[in-house]
Structure 1
C-alpha cells in the first residue's frame, strides 16, 4: 500500500470521515447560534495577494503553481483566516461592524514537521472582525469552548499568551535585532540568553503556569502599570470561562502567534496530543493601508479524530428482505441508521450492523 499518496496525505475512511463531518457540523452550528455566518473562500488564490494577508508566515507554507489561464502564480491556502480577512475587508466592507464569520475547509502545507506530519488538514473556525475588546475576546473564547463541548470533548484547557508583550514594553531602547533575539530567548525559556540581552525580563519566564498564580506574578512584576489593561483583560476573560475549562498563562509564548497582537490562546483537550486549536487578536488590512481589529479562533479536526474522541459508536440496524418501507422510514426518523438486506447471502455482520430488525423490533446482535 506504499506510494499511493504523497507523504503527509491520507484517506479518511469510515467511521472517521463521518465523525469528521459531525464534528465540523456541531462546531459550525454552535457558531451560527451565536451569529457567525459561514463563508466559503476558494482553495487557491493569487499568490501575491494571499501572501500579503498571511503576514508573518508569508508564502513559505504554501504550495504554488502557475495558473494556465492567467499565467499568474497561484497559491493553495495554508490557512483560511487570511482569506476570511480578505472577504471582510473587500466583499463585506460595507457590512456593519463587528461582522461575525465562520468557515470550514481543507488547507495544504508545503512541508510538515516531525511532530505534525500531516500536510493536508481540515480547518474550522470563527472570526469576529471590527472589534478586539475584552468583551469580543470573551465571546470568541466562549464560542470555541461551547463548540468543542457540543462536539463531545472534555477536559478542555486554554493557555493564554500576550504576543506583543515585549514590543509593548521595550519601546526604543532595544534594536530590532535585540528585540527579535529577546523574543526568541523568552519563548525558549532560556534564562542565560535573556540575562545576556535584558536581565530585567527574567521574571517573565517565571510568570507562567496555572492562571491564578501566573497572573499575580505578572502583575507584581509590572510595577509601572504598562500592562495593566492587558492584565485586567485577562482576568476578565478568566472570570468568564474559568469555571468551564482549566486555564494557564505563558505571557512570552510566541511560537505560532507571530501576527497576533495583545492576546493569543491555545486550546487543548484531555486525551489529545498537542493543541487542537488556537486563536487571538490580530489586524485585518484594507486597501489603502487601513487596519481593522479582529479576533477569532481556528480548530483542527485531525488531532481530535486521531484520539478517537469524536468517533461515535456505530448503531446500524439490519433490515431483512421484505421489511415494510414505512416502518423503515419511521425507524430512521427515530435516529436509526438502517441497512437493507439486498440478497439472501447478506448478513448483519457483513454490513457491520449492531442490531437486526426482528418481528418489527430492533434487537441487539
Structure 2
C-alpha cells in the first residue's frame, strides 16, 4: 500500500515505533519520572535540560562511539548546517560539562529526563521514541564513582516501582586489553572475536582465531561464581585491577540487587571504557537501563565520567495497569469557589460543571461538592 493510500484511509495512523500515552499511562509516566528524579536529586545530582536538536558535528565530537547515523538528521534552514534530533542525552551532558560548566567543581553531578528518538528500534524492541532518565558523575571513574552510580540507579528503579532488580556487570574494553597483552590478536581479527563472544559461539570463536578466549564464555552468570572463573582465566594478571574493582563494587552494593557478570558483553556499550552494567527487573521485558565509565572528548585528553541511563517505558507499561484512579470532586454550577480552592490546596482534584447537563459520574468524579464538603457520588 502506498504512503498516500495509508494517509487517506487512516489519517490518524502514527509512524511505526511511535505511540500515544493516554491519561492512565501518562499519569504513571509522570509518577515514575518524579520518583526517579527524586532519588537523583536526593543524591546531589542537579537537573539540566538540553535541547532536542543540536549540530551533528558538535554532538558526535564529544564522545567516541556515538552512532549518529541511527539518529534523525536534517539541514538547518538558517545555518545550513546538519542538525541531529536527540537519540541519547549522554553526549549532550558531556557537551554541557565541557563547555558551559567547565569551571564547575569536580566531581560534577548532573541528571536529566526526557524523550529520545531513533530512526529505528533496537533489536526486538520496535519503539523509536523512548523516555530516558539518567545521571552523570563527571570527573571520576573510580570504584567509588562506579559504586555510587550503580547504587543510585538501583534505588531510582526501586523508587519507581521496580521489584527484583538485577545488575549484570561487563568489561567493555576486555578484548582490547587482552588482545594488546595476554592474548594477542591481529588487528583484523579483533572485531571477529568480539562478534563471536557476543553470540556466545565457541566454535565460531575458535574459527575467528580466538581459541584462547573460549573460557570467557563460561565466566558468566551469578557474580560470585563468574568472578572466580574470570580470576582463574586471568593467569597473567592483566585483568587483576578490573577484577578487584568489580569485587569491591559488589561489596559496596551490599545486597541491594542480584548481581551477575558477563565480562565480554558489548551490546549497547558503544562508548564505555573499563566498566559497564545493565539493569533488569522482575516482570519487565528487556533491559531497564545501562551505564558505565566513559570519556568526554576535549582538550588535554578530555575528561573521565561515570553514569547511567534508565529507559523505564516497559516498567511504565506494567505499572499503568494498576495505576489507581484519583479521587476527584465534581463542582456543580454555582458552587462555592473558595471551598473548591481550599480543596485543591490540600491535594484534591476538581472538575467544574460547565452546563446543567454535566454529570459527576460520567465525568469520572468520585465526590460531589456540597455545603457540607465533598460527599461520595
TM-score norm. by structure 2 comes to 0.90
Structure 2 residue aligned with 1:268, among 262, 272, 280?
280
Q: Distance in 1 between matches of 2:230 and 2:323?
A: 43
Q: Distance in 2 between matches of 1:99 and 1:310?
A: 38
Corresponding position of 2:195: 184
> Contact between 2:327 and 2:366, CA under 8 Å: does it hold in 1?
yes
1:237 aligns with 2:249: yes
Residue by residue, what CA displacement relative to the aligned partner does 1:90-149 show, whole Å, maximum 9, x if unpaired?
Answer: 111111211111111221101224511111222111100111000001111111111122
Q: Distance in 2 between matches of 1:73 and 1:103?
A: 25
Aligned partner of residue 153 in structure 1, secondary structure: coil
Structure 2 residue aligned with 1:306, among 296, 299, 317?
317
Aligned partner of residue 155 in structure 1, secondary structure: coil
> Contact between 1:318 and 1:341, CA under 8 Å: does it hold in 2?
no
Q: Distance in 1 between matches of 2:255 and 2:48?
A: 32
> Contact between 1:317 and 1:357, CA under 8 Å: does it hold in 2?
no
Segments of structure 1 that go 5 or more residues without pairing to the other structure are none
Corresponding position of 1:164: 173
Residue by residue, what CA displacement relative to the aligned partner does 1:5-34 show, whole Å, maximum 9, x if unpaired?
Answer: 222222222121222122112212211111
Q: Distance in 2 between matches of 1:247 and 1:337?
A: 43
Q: Distance in 2 between matches of 1:359 and 1:155?
A: 48
Structure 2 residue aligned with 1:350, among 356, 362, 377?
362
Aligned partner of residue 260 in structure 2, secondary structure: strand
Residues 311 and 69 of structure 1: CA distance in aligned 2, closer, same or farther (over 3 Å): farther
Corresponding position of 1:228: 240
> Contact between 2:35 and 2:160, CA under 8 Å: does it hold in 1?
yes
Residues 65 and 311 of structure 1: CA distance in aligned 2, closer, same or farther (over 3 Å): farther
> Contact between 2:28 and 2:319, CA under 8 Å: does it hold in 1?
no
Corresponding position of 1:145: 154
Segments of structure 2 that go 5 or more residues without pairing to the other structure are 1-9
Which has the larger displacement, 169-178 or 85-94? 169-178
Q: Distance in 2 between matches of 1:156 and 1:248?
A: 11
Residue by residue, what CA displacement relative to the aligned partner does 1:211-261 show, whole Å, maximum 9, x if unpaired?
Answer: 111111111222222212211211122122242211111111001112111
Corresponding position of 1:40: 49
Aligned partner of residue 308 in structure 1, secondary structure: helix
The within-5 A match list for 1:29-68 is 29-68=38-77
1:296 aligns with 2:321: no
> Contact between 2:53 and 2:83, CA under 8 Å: does it hold in 1?
yes
Residue by residue, what CA displacement relative to the aligned partner does 1:291-328 show, whole Å, maximum 9, x if unpaired?
Answer: 21101001113222222359630112233425544443
Corresponding position of 1:253: 265
Corresponding position of 2:19: 10
> Contact between 1:208 and 1:248, CA under 8 Å: does it hold in 2?
yes
TM-superposed CA distance for 1:355, in Å, is 4.4
Residue by residue, what CA displacement relative to the aligned partner does 1:165-206 show, whole Å, maximum 9, x if unpaired?
Answer: 111122162122211111111111011122231222111111
TM-score norm. by structure 1 comes to 0.93
Which has the larger displacement, 207-216 or 52-61? 52-61
Q: Distance in 2 between matches of 1:222 and 1:155?
A: 31
Corresponding position of 1:120: 129
